[in-house]
Chains A and B, each alone.
Chain A
């Protein structure tokens, strides 16, 4: 994902803003990292360049 996606996305549960923590970046693209909700604290992984914004209850039943 590109960093400017942060302007669009929000927490799927409470629609609050997300904070971005980058683990790996390649030429402007974020390959891995974590998105954390500024309100409820739920975290969402970025895996192979694709943010996983599935709510936690669906993340477990639908592994990557």
Chain B
């Protein structure tokens, strides 16, 4: 048996042992242990080093409020830092290391920071590194020099670099009632609601349901409270309308009773079962939330209160009663309230020797005194601990007379040898979730605590959360919160009548470092220093001193910090107010938030011909969610060689490209033509059935939104195409206009992007290829003129063919049902083989459109007008359209606007999109941009590097020399500004 394990008692299973390691040393514990309880049972009291000062630290708490015992778990290559040892269940093979120490926990060179004293006081970083530069030692330059060393010395655990192989999932849930916390109040609420058939979720952050029932010596319904809790949970778990979630921290309370919770599904197992996630992130939409989150005990602030061996009284009670662990052999208690007497008794019953109970109050209740007598301890009222001694472990405390009203210390210190000191500074209800929900906390003078305001229509409180500390009252509040009405159903209890209302003592001000926030090494002197430096607001105090930040979020430090601040300001605590708690209540793994949004199961869109592309050597490229072929490279080809070959072959013979990703919207109904006239700059009502037209859309503010062709398939039936990237945006724009502005128009919009597979077949041989495989229609110039549409079949599959061109060649878009896409594509490539048809990807497509001077999303960047792109000819003067009234505003027609031009590289070196264009080259001090390149390529037709650009007054600069200035990529050199029509400006080829 371990040295500190009691021979009996506790809810652990002594019949089985679990082996784990801490800092490389092997230990054993039992099922039911946390890392903290198991280490304590093994006599390990030093668990970490503090954040700034590297002071040795042991356990302060036993649950989610633990600020000190943060450890790193090693799982294979992955490491997870900053896990609270008090929340970590041990399992066989668990490997844990301590943090923030170098080279080892026992011998830490960083501990020299302790000697610095005031050096690392409040605002140290601001003062040292953000001040003006005076000499070499101040300001941001000094910060940049020092950062590396400071980051290494300070801080919490080190994050790993290996990928986390764990599986995370997210889950949505709905319920009438979410009960947060499974102490007696929470269990009673769930039981009451469950029995009347409500849909319930009961969430408990610990592994074991029951909360205080697990360590109190009270009875409920004639049985020990922990047995009652276990039986009640078993009963709840059997109800079909109840879901019980152990190991589930409710960490966020958002608008509309949307609750975020993290379930640690397999963190307590050596390995998960197949398909089981490590953690599951729950988003719960609850009708009502029952907040039965209990209360946290507060530490007292006195010199040396952070020495390993000094812990919260209730934490020690929990270790003894719930885990059967004795936190020390010789124990003293320091308290300002009666609650700690109960803790002292629990330790006595576990086998510890309680040496002294030191109470800052002069008088104590009879009940408390009676309990004290049973512990066998010496009762020292009107006294306080003013110092502690010991290195990595407490061995002695100094006790002096103390006046609770004035805070005066008097008399000579008396030394008492102890190895464990329990402290209790009163209780703070865990109102964090209610505070997140917007509740403003109210100061309660009797309990010296912030209590939640009255219940809202979103949540109901019960038990310790309300500041209700008696078992009977907690059960009764829980019962009511769950909708129970017949109070005769409430179980009988046995309980002592201790009143935990404390004396208003938060600090014992004596010489030495007295810690308020243990996690951030914030002392009472730091709080007073902040006050002397002019910080008045509690929100500023928090940020300046770091009190209550990071993983701890002020669970133990909030109220003592406020009390000391109030005292310094000469105000009452309620006048100072409290900070609003923010999510998360407890740390959340990033992996759980990302879940399936990350990695191989992230959504992606594939075209109907995707598998053909992969099988035929395409290099894929992700464009938004779409995966599209970039090139169909031959063995040994570079990307540039591949696209140049593809583009050249297309211009000389024929090429085929997958254009299925183009946005396609069915615009149907008797008012469809009218609607298109309103949203396009040009006319569509005049478009005959069986023809397509290029259209341009503006935003309401007159700037260009998108372009594309729209096909009239029947009188009331149009097929609109949009650019791939803008498909969603255009759909929303049109839906808004129809739904909100013109609801009287009879038009239906449907996304049919996925209904159609599209193959663009381009090049002088394209017509011959179609003629060879299309049946049911002719494809000659007469039957299928430029912008004409025909219906036919290819290898028995119905197709719709529109003659239109993006490449500038004679070209067609062949549309078939998506499920026939690969079939039709294969028939086209087979028919094209004798004509030298090649598949081409996005790079060749881009090259040909740059040569042709066609615009895409790179140019339509939300800042350009139709005139900037030389599309004035598309602006109808016969009708109003969206944007027509705004497009002629002064700034949008100014002659020096950025306009679309072509760019020729004059040094025969490739150009890059994004590069600036300047009139004078200055490599050392690049300046004077007159525009930028939007796209660039090698043009096989022109035999040189070309690009498109938006250049100030570009139209008037044709023929001028300028320079590329691209300092990031170190590309500088001469270029010529030319017309954007590099190739076949008259369009003879596509009309041929």
- Say whether A and B bind each other: no
Instruction: Spell out B's residues near A (CB within 8 Å).
Output: none
Instruction: Spell out A's residues near B (CB within 8 Å).
Output: none
